[in-house]
Structure 1
Amino acid sequence: MTAMHCHFTGRNFISKSLSTFLPLLSIVQTQAMAVTIHNALPSLNALKSKSIIRNRPESRRVSANSVRCCQVATSDKQSITVSNGNDSLEICRVLNGMWQTSGGWGRIDRDDAVDAMLRYADAGLTTFDMADHYGPAEDLYGIFINRVRRERPPEFLDKVRGLTKWVPPPVKMTSSIVRESIDVSRRRMDVPCLDMLQFHWWDYSNPGYLDALNHLTDLKEEGKIKTVALTNFDTERLRIILENGIPVVSNQVQHSVVDMRPQQKMAELCQLTGVKLITYGTVMGGLLSEKFLDTNLSIPFAGPPLNTPSLQKYKRMVDAWGGWSQFQVLLQTLKRIASKHGVSIPVVAVRYILDQPAVAGSMIGVRLGLAEHIQDTNAIFMLSLDEDDVNSIQEVTKKGKDLLGVIGDCGDEYRR
């Protein structure tokens, strides 16, 4: 396994290969937008002329259907509160992931994307997850939240959540750098207070992550952040952070029926401390779907193309876990369960992870304005897996390789 080398030179981010089986997540794949986060990111005006967002006329009417939809209350099954001490935030248990706005999934039309965000929110899917380096994601959220303020009642606005991430370069974490970076996200998202700031750190040998988290906690006390959280931290570092009295409410990690690493170490600590897991990669970029059932990717052009960064990433995870043939056995098992309950494979896959210890919510990527899966997503809340379903899934997954031994703990794939 090769090591990962990351260097920041001016505004250039250079990353060498992470491993033979798992590429770096969106941080590398979405171009070098995270390089000097403490400098202001492109303004919305710049994005309008240079980014993948295309402009269309501003005016939009609110349809009668939209008005009716926004009256729908979120059920107890749909929401959960993540908390630590006095800090808490209610979120939808299925989060709308916005990595897909960063390029590689199709050209985004700004107005179509925001219209789609409103449809998701109207359907009760009110939590959006983004990052400083996910292309225009934070700017889209800013446009969206302003439309919510204008076009929806105040009680609807109270349900909407915008979770973002900060992925800083390996520089000294001073109060001013942290403050300036968070102010950029606040401006882009057009909110006085971030609902949740999820913090990523590259190199554990540099203890600056504790300085950064302490500064983030100070900003929380100032009212600029409602909750502080982590992304891609391992169990050992999570323990250190909690021992230092930093009140993180959650850790966002990769977790799926293929990647069960979070349940092997981290979930136990989370249950002891109350920290929750928010999961991504839960449908493996779409690999966990009927589209890839009974396909043979070993034959060129025989199966669906792996034509997005997420499909390519999670195909490598399949290879590390047990290969395509073993993955087909898993898909067949999930399909039998899905047919039994009258749902689709991804619905079963997400429900299984939501039922795991310490899991508060799971991410499903949204290709805003290009494709929608609102009905399928809401079916997750209605599904209950029985003992036979769970046993059938576990019987297949235990035949795969132990990814904790192959890759390491949560987030270790980004630090090798």
Structure 2
Amino acid sequence: MTGLSLLHSVSNFPPSNFPLSCSASRNGLLRRTAGGGSGFKQPRGVAAVRCCTGPAEAAQTNNRTATLKMGNDTLDICRVLNGMWQTSGGWGTIDRNDAVEAMLRHADAGLTTFDMADHYGPAEDLFGIFINRVRRERPPEYLETVRGLTKWAPPPVKMTRTFVQQSIDISRKRMDVESLDMLQFHWRDYNNPEYLDALMHLTDLKNKGKIKTIALTNFDTVRLEIILENGMPVVSNQVQHSIVDMRPQQRMAELCGISGVKLITYGTVMGGLLSEKYLDTNFRIPFSGPKLNTPSLQKYKRMVDAWGGWSLFQELLKTLKKIADKHAVSIPTVAVRYILDQPSVAGSMIGVRLGLSEHIKESNDVFSLALDQEDLQHIEHVTKKGKDLLNVTGDCGDEYRRA
């Protein structure tokens, strides 16, 4: 099986404990096969996902939660996630007490899912303090709604069982939980096939109760297919996805629709570029444009440049502003709703600068917004003028793996 042949092969999945063996390389990558065979097999109990195709169906998915499921592994999340990359530095100094109070305000407002990583500064520690406040100060049924999703991006060392377990135990200790709600796995170098060994060890830890669900972050479609072919029970893949960056809808979403894997998106408001703040701004005159003074603003400005430049982006912002005014919401709310309505998208991230600034109302406005066909046509009239980022930067996550 080569390329995206998975998209044309659906049957039953092999048991999760089947033996793995190394075989020949594909596209320069080692892969593993089960029992000497090949071919994707859909996990038992996972129906093929029917994609959202228009505003009528989109309006039916405005519920606050989504269920991530693979086999017997299930996790409910809030569809608007609180992204905690902003705790890692570069967005201002975070006060611990203020940050935890802000986390409580978000959760009290129904925004109960927090996304972090082992390398996002004190993010996991803040969650540990926060979850203990919840245990002491909120009723048990409240605690049941809170989710802490973390990521692990291991260094380029041997993926032994001991190393993987020790790494996960550190996150469990920092977050003060017996079992991680979700471990999202990132791998830097596809030329090193040990990502399969790491995922196998993570699956063992899941079976021991240390992890509830396993997910990926920034994996491309080819590697996701290989991982699924090897029976790894991943429930989601977190990828960059916005009105400007529609790469996940070209290959990834089709594979997700067949396999049941969901997408969690980040960069959906492009670090704040998709907002009223950047409407009617100009970078052509030196020092006249708005300051791009955070890592996320700088990153997503580069994506705008690759997509079509600032003038086209201004046309997009003006279009989104008209739609936002029509529905009495903000541009970021429209931007998030548009992506939540895309096929296989379970949730979208909004970065939170805990204790510094808040957008709780705008986040909750997403759930009551339904874009109509006219809105979609106006948006796509502009976006079709931009470049296909799949051809410019590669598939999901490829921008992190350039030489």
Residue identity matched to 1:209:
Y
- For 1:82, the equivalent position in structure 2 comes to 68
Kindly provide the amino acid, as one letter, of the partner of residue 377 in structure 1.
Answer: S
Shift in alpha-carbon separation, 1:106–1:328, aligned structure 2, 3 A:
same
Structure 1 residues 131-142: aligned runs within 5 Å: 131-142=117-128
Identity %: 78
SS in 2 for 1:389: helix
Distance 1:298 1:116 in 2: 38
Question: In structure 1, what is the equivalent of residue 25 of structure 2?
Answer: none
Match of 2:300 in 1: 314
User: Using the alignment, how far apart are the partners of 2:95 and 2:156 within structure 1?
Assistant: 34
**Matched residue, 2:116:** 130
Shift of 1:301: 2.4
Q: 1:167-182 maps to which residues of 2 (within 5 A)?
A: 167-182=153-168
1:7 matched residue in structure 2: none
Show the counterpart of 2:194: 208
- RMSD between superposed Cα atoms in Å: 0.8
Alpha-carbon distance, 1:76 to partner: 7.2
Question: Does the 8 Å contact 2:62/2:368 carry over to 1?
Answer: no
Distance 2:62 2:172 in 1: 29
Deviations 1:50-82 (A, max 9, x none): xxxxxxxxxxxxxxxxxxxxxxxxx97110100
Q: Which runs of 5+ in 2 are unaligned?
A: 1-60
Find the residue that maps to 2:199 and give its secondary structure.
helix
**What is the identity, as a one-letter code, of the residue corresponding to 1:276?**
K
Deviation string for 1:86-118 (max 9, x for gaps)? Answer: 001000000000000000001111000000000
Whether 2:275 is the aligned partner of 1:289: answer yes
Distance in 2 (CA, whole Å) between partners of 1:305 and 1:129 is: 26
Counterpart AA for 2:263: L
Q: CA shift at 1:129, angstroms?
A: 0.1
Question: Is 1:105 aligned to 2:105, yes or no?
Answer: no
**Residue 180 of structure 2 corresponds to which residue in structure 1?**
194
1:222 deviates by 0.3
Give, in angstroms, the shift of residue 171 of structure 1.
1.0
Task: Give matches, 1:149-160, under 5 Å.
Answer: 149-160=135-146
Paired with 2:379 and 2:196, the residues of 1 have a C-alpha distance of 39
The equivalent residue for 2:387 is 401
Q: 1 CA distance for matches of 2:178 and 2:283? A: 48
Identify the residue that residue 6 of structure 1 maps to in structure 2.
none
How far is the alpha carbon of 1:268 from its aligned partner?
Answer: 0.2
1:372 aligns to what? 358
> Among 37, 61, 81, which residue is 1:95 paired with?
81
Task: Using structure 2 for the length normalisation, give the TM-score.
Answer: 0.84
Task: List 4+ stretches of structure 1 deviating above 4 A.
Answer: none
Aligned position for 1:387: 373
Q: How many residues align?
A: 342
Q: 1:254 and 1:299 mapped to 2: Cα distance?
A: 30
Alignment of 1:219-368 (within 5 A): 219-368=205-354
What is the DSSP-based 3-state SS (H/G/I as helix, E as strand, rest coil) of the residue aligned with 2:234?
Answer: coil
